[in-house]
A and B are shown apart, each in its own frame.
Chain A
Amino acid sequence: MAAESQQKSICTVEADLELLSRYQNGDHQALEALFEVHLRLIKFWVRKVWHWADREEVMQEAKIGLSNAVMEFNASKDSDFHAQARRCVMRAVFESRAVMPVKRTLYNHYRQVMKAQDILMRKLGRRPTLEELSNEAGLSVTQVENALNVIAAFPLPLEAADGKLAIEEPFQIEDPYESQLVKDALKQLSRDEAKIIILYYYYGKTDREIGEDLGKSEDAVKMARTRALAKLRDIISGEGV
């Protein structure tokens, strides 16, 4: 059998932590190795998000951001250096002279796109196209593209132009605690009950459509859904099933 190539990530949480630990113990070669790995990431981020800005200047700021990430990283508090590096690099570029003139515009586009997305997913019941998003947000497709790239590169929510966290975001992000609570509760239902709840509430299917999927009558699905909902209420309220 012919030998096959293997894909291997050169940046892992463990590898980063080991390099950081070695650096903190005085091994400067470890820092060089960390920089070398993350330089690939910086180039990717710059090409993806800041391709319209002065490349040299952006790269310079990004490297400063990476240095900040190393300095600020606290292994006992944070576990993922990679996430911190992305945050610091993006922030450094966002605050740089290269981006400064369009910072507020970018931030406004980000909010407009998020708001348009929120409206359209409720209205259409599907993922909007770039053009639909562009029409709803009142921006060009290119502006929407750029805004989407900024959104994708930053952890949500994006910080406001003045560096403070935006208080009133036009959208909601899942609450990890609440989300886990619901997932755990769904796991305690029977397979069919969980499926009915997910298809009805998350995928917007009717009882009849679900019945066709599961080979049950509409009434049977409705009864099972009511029963499953009561179980979920009891589980989430801590009363058990």
Chain B
Amino acid sequence: MGSQDIEQLLESAKYKHLSDATLVSYRDSDLDEIAVALADAHLRLCLVCDRRLTFLREEETALTITEQPEINPRDYFHTEIQRLAFYFNDLLTAWIVPFSKTAMRGAGDGDEVWRYESEDGLLRGWAILESDASLTVHFSSPELVWEGARIRFRLGPFSKEVTLQREGESGVAAKIKIPRRERAKKMADISIEVV
């Protein structure tokens, strides 16, 4: 084979349509650097082979299913914490709004001074003024996945971390007792964090 023949072979190669095997290998990234460069040289010229490649790619997509991996409990809980935090944000608003303008109402023993329930019923909260003038704040939820979640509660100078604990099969709950001397003067000065 002479140099002219080689030149002719090289010059005509880019005009030759790619075989199905080459296109499949190209799609699957199974070609080496030189083979990719040669295939690209033709693909940049040819709408037909470009369409064939698109077809092969779409065909592969049509056969592809998305598999959900097994959920790692830690990852799952991480997202549950975010969900719980979302609910507590709503609860906080329900606390702050009534207490920002008025003082705590209800002076009798065991009076419920505040109550909240999320729209879907997944988080409830209520506060009771006890006979010893301490304030008890309760949280409960039927969401068992929130068991073990730590909540950092602060009301004025008082702060405490509690854990949502399981209560039978019905759900989880936590209770915070604020002694009389530590009760906040400004009831709206509150923060709740899920940690």
Contacts and interface: CB of A to CB of B under 8 A. Distances in A.
B6 A232 contact: yes
A173 B17 contact: yes
Nearest to B71: A3
A148 B17 CA distance: 14
B122 interface: no
Interface string B45-57: 1111011101100
Contacts of B12: 172
Interface residues of A, number: 63
Contacts of B2: 233
B38 A6 contact: no
Nearest to A129: B47
Contacts of A118: 15
Contacts of B54: 152
A122 B65 contact: no
Contact of B68 (A5, A37, A174, A229): A5
Contacts of A148: 47-48, 51
Nearest to A114: B48
B64 A8 contact: yes
A147 to B, nearest CB: 9
B19 interface: yes
Contact of A41 (B18, B43, B63, B78): B63
B69 A201 contact: no
B190 to A, nearest CB: 31
A127 B13 contact: no
Most B CB contacts (10 A, CB to CB) among A121, A197, A203 go to A121
Contact of B15 (A4, A83, A172, A178): A172
Contacts of A5: 66-69
A145 to B, nearest CB: 9
Interface of B: 1-3, 5-7, 9-22, 32, 34-35, 37-38, 41, 43-48, 50-52, 54-55, 58-60, 62-72, 75, 78-79
A152 B55 contact: yes
Given A156-B17, A236-B6, 14 more contacts: A8-B64, A8-B66, A8-B67, A44-B62, A48-B55, A122-B15, A133-B47, A155-B20, A179-B22, A182-B13, A201-B14, A202-B13, A229-B3, A237-B1
A161 B69 CA distance: 49
Contacts of A133: 47
Given A127-B47, A151-B52, A3 B41 contact: no
Given A9-B60, A114-B48, A229-B3, A174 B20 contact: no
B68 A127 contact: no
Given A125-B45, A151-B51, A152-B51, A183 B75 contact: no
A203 B3 CA distance: 19
Nearest to A130: B47
Interface string A103-146: 00000000001100110011001111110010000000000000
A197 B16 CA distance: 17
Contacts of A128: 47
Q: Which 6 A-B pairs have the closest CB atoms?
A: A202-B41, A152-B55, A201-B10, A44-B62, A121-B45, A174-B16
Contacts of A201: 7, 10-11, 13-14
Contacts of B6: 229, 232-233, 236
A3 B52 contact: no
A230 B68 CA distance: 56
A117 B49 CA distance: 10
A153 B65 CA distance: 22
Nearest to B62: A44
Contacts of A230: 3
Contacts of A171: 17
A183 B90 CA distance: 66
A4 B66 CA distance: 10
A70 interface: no
